[in-house]
Chain A
Amino acid sequence: MLRDTIHRALRPVRPWMVYTLGALPALLLVVDVFTGNLGVDPVKTIEHRVGEVALQLIVAGLCITPLRRFAGLNLIRFRRQIGVLAFVYAALHLLVWITLDLQFRWSEIGADLVKRPYIIVGFAAFLMLLPLAVTSNNAAIRRMGAAAWQRLHWLTYPAAMLAGLHFIMLVKAWPAEPLIYMGAILALLGLRLIPRAAPRRVPA
């Protein structure tokens, strides 16, 4: 079965290898900077690409649980790396915004952070990812206890929705791409609302 094939193929993959894979989009960007491959507006290209990778990783992270539940595909041991990478790209995205886009114009940065709904929404998503990234290690789970840790990590869901909303809010008119991301996020969250089948009663 396909599922078993995938499980077998992934057996030698160590979770840390996900970081290697996750570094590729960033490396590609660096290569493109030096080869002048970023088009006419390199700043926007960089900002958009890291933002989009962050969003894709958020969506990928949301896929893990439904894949296990509905397809029997268990990728749970990669979830932490995917989440941390999502945070790293969101942080890069924020950094690009401050350094290359607004170029340290702190008064404009400050004004945007309180006045621009799409920036506020994006920043809120980033702030939610921050404690998740900080607690994505075994020591934190031990310290917090599984229940509290789990409760904190529910922040994933509002963070994902805000990230999707952020993309919709920053475009003019209604291009399809942000709507597709938002649709995927809502669908993946919706799947979690499907009640688990009650344990079957054995008739007496």
Chain B
Amino acid sequence: MAQRYNSGLGWADVTPKAGWLNRRQLMMTMGAALAASPALAATGPYSTDEAPNSLEDITGYNNFYEFGFDKTDPAAHAGKLTTSPWAVEVDGLVDRPGSYDLGDLLKGLPVEERIYRFRCVEAWSMIIPWNGVQLSHVLDRVGVQPGAKFVQFTSLARPEEMPGVKAGLLDWPYREGLRMDEAMHPLTLLATGIYGEPMPNQNGAPIRLVVPWKYGFKSAKSLVKITLTDRMPYTTWNALQPKEYGFYANVNPEVDHPRWSQASERRIGAGLFASRVDTQKFNGYGDLVADLYKGQDLARDY
């Protein structure tokens, strides 16, 4: 599948690859690298202009329990994952259900670059330059029926290639869900790449959900199924520990996780002494998404 931008300029155009591969490396070659490249400009109204984390950060620190509990397990074990061919089954309340080849499902849809804040429920965060298509475009393509109220996402569970699945660490396959208006929101992305390159396996290749105003666990990886349904779907963490992980899981500094505070977060890559920053409600996307929750008690619907 083509990993092109619709915005003309891509990361590869504005930054020498060595620069974003490794920030430390970038520091060392700072003079040369920066002199040769124009400033990185955020593209479009949805991207943040904060500096993205290095690819080393983004691919070396992952919660992807299909490959193990440790944050370094995905980088160590995801190399074995077969991502081509890849089919995504679309079922439930849709006009055109079926098993779609990934390329066919996305063909012709605009691949955009979105630099999003990513906030994990464990109170750490990164800035990630995703490439992907809006989920709404894909849903429009398959034809959502009026009765559909929710979308469920199912991740791959392939024990031969996923040690954490084989070990039964969670109730596999991993499942997540969104309300219809959340799914149709322009911020909600089906991401297929990072830094203009195909999605690294440990980040959820070849296609994953990205919902930047919600805690990271909502953004299910390596999707094999999208189901349109009329009721709130089963979601993995919510089913495991309903008091700790709600269905909505909107980033909210005012609503603590029962075991830890959500008031602030540590920005990965910010060094030993300056990494803690205040957490923003809806992860800073409130002006775009707060309306979705008007009249809803977010302390109850956490």
Do chains A and B stick together as partners?
A: yes
List residues of chain A with CB under 8 Å of any chain B CB.
33, 36, 39-44, 100-103, 105, 108, 111-112, 115-118, 169-173, 175
Pairwise interchain contact A40-B61, C-beta atoms closer than 8 A: yes
**Residues B259 and A108 in contact, CB atoms below 8 Å apart:** no
Task: How many A-B residue pairs have C-beta atoms within 8 angstroms? Tell me.
Answer: 60
Contacts of B122 in A (CB 8 A): 172
Q: Which residues of B contact A118 (CB under 8 A)?
A: 259-260
In the complex, what's the smallest C-beta–C-beta distance from A173 to chain B, in angstroms?
6
Q: Which residue of B lies closest to A104 (CB)?
A: B276
Instruction: Enumerate the 6 nearest inter-chain pairs by beta-carbon distance, A residue then B residue, closest first.
Output: A40-B61, A103-B276, A175-B69, A40-B60, A40-B57, A41-B268
- Give chain B nearest CB distance to A48 CB in angstroms: 11
Task: Tell me if B263 and A108 are in contact (CB < 8 A).
Answer: yes
B260 touches A105 (CB 8 A): no
Known: A36-B24, A40-B56, A175-B69. A169 touches B259 (CB 8 A): yes
Instruction: Identify the interface centre among A44, A101, A169: most chain B CB within 10 Å of its CB.
Output: A44
Q: How far is the CB of A115 from chain B (nearest CB, A)?
A: 8
Contact (Cβ within 8 A) A41 B124: yes
Query: Which residues of B lie under 8 Å from residue A41 when comparing CB positions?
Result: 61, 71, 124, 266, 268
Q: Is the CB of A100 within 8 A of B273?
A: yes
Question: From residue B55, how far is it (CB to closest CB) to chain A in Å?
Answer: 11
How long is the Cα–Cα vector from A108 to B263 in the complex, in angstroms?
8
Give per-residue flags for B48-60: 1 if the beta carbon is below 8 A from chain A beta carbons, else 0: 0000000011001
B169 within 8 A of A: yes
Please name all residues of chain A whose beta carbon is closer than 8 Å to the beta carbon of B263 when the two chains form the complex.
Answer: 108
| Cβ 8 A contact of B275, one of A33, A43, A112, A169 | A43
A101: chain B residues within 8 A (beta carbon): 266, 276
Q: Does B299 contact A (CB under 8 A)?
A: no
Known: A39-B60, A116-B259. A100 touches B264 (CB 8 A): no
- Is B259 a contact of A40 with CB atoms below 8 Å? no
Q: List 19 A-B contacts (CB under 8 A).
A: A39-B72, A41-B71, A41-B266, A43-B266, A100-B272, A101-B266, A103-B274, A103-B276, A108-B261, A108-B263, A112-B260, A115-B256, A115-B261, A117-B259, A118-B260, A173-B69, A173-B240, A175-B69, A175-B169
The answer for the CA separation of A4 and B272 in the assembled complex, in Å, is 47
Query: Smallest CB-CB separation from B122: which chain A residue?
Result: A172
CB of B170 closer than 8 Å to a CB of A: yes
Which B residues, 123 to 147, have Cβ-Cβ distances below 8 Å to chain A? 124
Interface presence of B150 (CB below 8 A)? no
Write the chain A residue with the least CB distance to B57. A40
* CB within 8 Å of A: which B209-261 residues: 240, 256, 259-261
B contact residues around A105 at 8 Å (CB)? 264, 276
A173→B268 contact, CB < 8 A? no
- CB-defined contacts of A117 to chain B, threshold 8 Å: 259
Taken together as a complex, chains A and B put the C-alpha atoms of A39 and B72 apart, in Å, by: 9
Q: Look across to chain A and name the residue whose beta carbon is closest to the beta carbon of B68.
A: A175
Starting from the known contacts A39-B61, A41-B268, A170-B259, 16 additional A-B residue pairs (CB-CB under 8 Å) come to A40-B56, A40-B57, A40-B61, A40-B269, A41-B124, A43-B275, A100-B273, A101-B276, A103-B273, A103-B275, A105-B276, A108-B264, A112-B260, A112-B261, A115-B261, A117-B259
Contact check, A42 vs B272: say whether CB atoms are below 8 A apart.
yes
Give Cα A83 to B263, complex, Å. Answer: 36
Q: Which residue on chain B has the smallest CB distance to residue A100?
A: B272
A42 to B267, CA, bound (A): 11
Q: Does B174 sit within 8 A of A, measured CB to CB?
A: no
CB distance from A24 to the nearest CB of B (A): 21
Tell yes or no: B64 within 8 A of A by CB: no
Q: Give chain B residues whose Cβ lies under 8 Å from the Cβ of A42.
A: 272
Q: How far is the CB of B33 from chain A (nearest CB, A)?
A: 19
A34 to chain B, nearest CB (A): 11
B65 at the interface (CB under 8 A from A): yes
Nearest Cβ in chain A — how far from B120, in angstroms? 11
Q: Chain A: which residue is nearest B24 at the CB level?
A: A36
